[in-house]
Amino acid sequence: MKKSILATAADTALPDKTFLDLLAFNEKMAELGRISAGIIHEVNTPLCVIISAAQLVLQEEGMPEAALELVERIHLEAQRLSQMTRGILTFARPDSDSSGETDICQTVHEVVTLINYESGKRSVRVIEEYEDHIPSLPSGGSRLKQVVLNLAMNALQAMEEGGELTLSCSPDVAGGAVIRISDTGPGIPPEIVELIFDPFYTTKREGEGTGLGLFVSRNLVEELHGSLTVQSLPGTGSRFTITFPQPAL
């Protein structure tokens, strides 16, 4: 087992220390994933109790209007939380995407529901543009979701003073699929654009970013036989493009 890991280190030509840091980080993330999946699972149980209790109260006759409105809110918000926790559980489940067709637009839309809170907090308007006739991915739904989430979070984090985040899916002329994640943030200076896909490259403050998001995302897209590229105009914004050529589909 150890042997094959070291062989991979040599293949990827990463410096040994970087590779070992990456390995340790991945193990920590996997552990964190397991712990949070457990916590989320535990949170879901009382949430279900809250939802059914609220439903019972809503059926009560003779409740004052104001009280009904409040219970309605409790019901709605608890349902929203429950949906969110279910989304995170599906996301954290390892290998849940080893097989099964993936609807690309649906996957992108699911990410939009996950970033609702972040985008609202930053006054970012989220625009979704889905064209017709987009081929499905044969598998890899969770991996694609993780990539789109990484890119959308980067875009939101870049737009500290609000802006627009556009997620679009379109077919390409050769029968492939193209996903674009564009923001109206500050853009990426040309002198660092070559570096942003390197492991541990970050411009964020200590504790705010590991610099692994784009490195991991590019690897995941390549595992799915696609490519991940960036175009950016400082002062105007950035656009990340995921392309799945027809043979990948």
| Closer by beta carbon to Mg ion, 102 or else 154 | 154
| Closer by beta carbon to ligand ATP, 171 or else 209 | 209
Among 204, 222, 229, 246, binds ligand ATP (CB under 6 A): 204
47 binds ligand ATP (CB under 6 A): no
Q: Which stretch binds ligand ATP (CB under 6 A): 72-80, 103-111, 172-180, 182-190?
A: 182-190
CA distance 151 to 185: 13
CA distance 145 to 141: 6
202 binds ligand ATP (CB under 6 A): yes
44 binds ligand ATP (CB under 6 A): no
Among 126, 137, 144, 188, binds ligand ATP (CB under 6 A): 188
CB atoms within 10 A of CB 108: 24
Residue whose C-beta lies closest to ligand ATP: 213
130 binds ligand ATP (CB under 6 A): no
x/- contact string, 140-169, with ligand ATP (CB under 6 A)?
----------x---xx--x-----------
Rounded to the nearest 10°, the torsion over CA 151, 153, 157, 161 is 100
| Closer by beta carbon to ligand ATP, 54 or else 216 | 216
| Closer by beta carbon to ligand ATP, 177 or else 214 | 214
Identity of the residue numbered 154:
N
Taking each helix axis from N to C end, the angle separating 141-158 and 213-223, rounded to the nearest 10 degrees, works out to 150
Q: Which residues bind ligand ATP (CB under 6 A)?
A: 150, 154-155, 158, 183, 185, 188, 196, 201-204, 209-215, 238
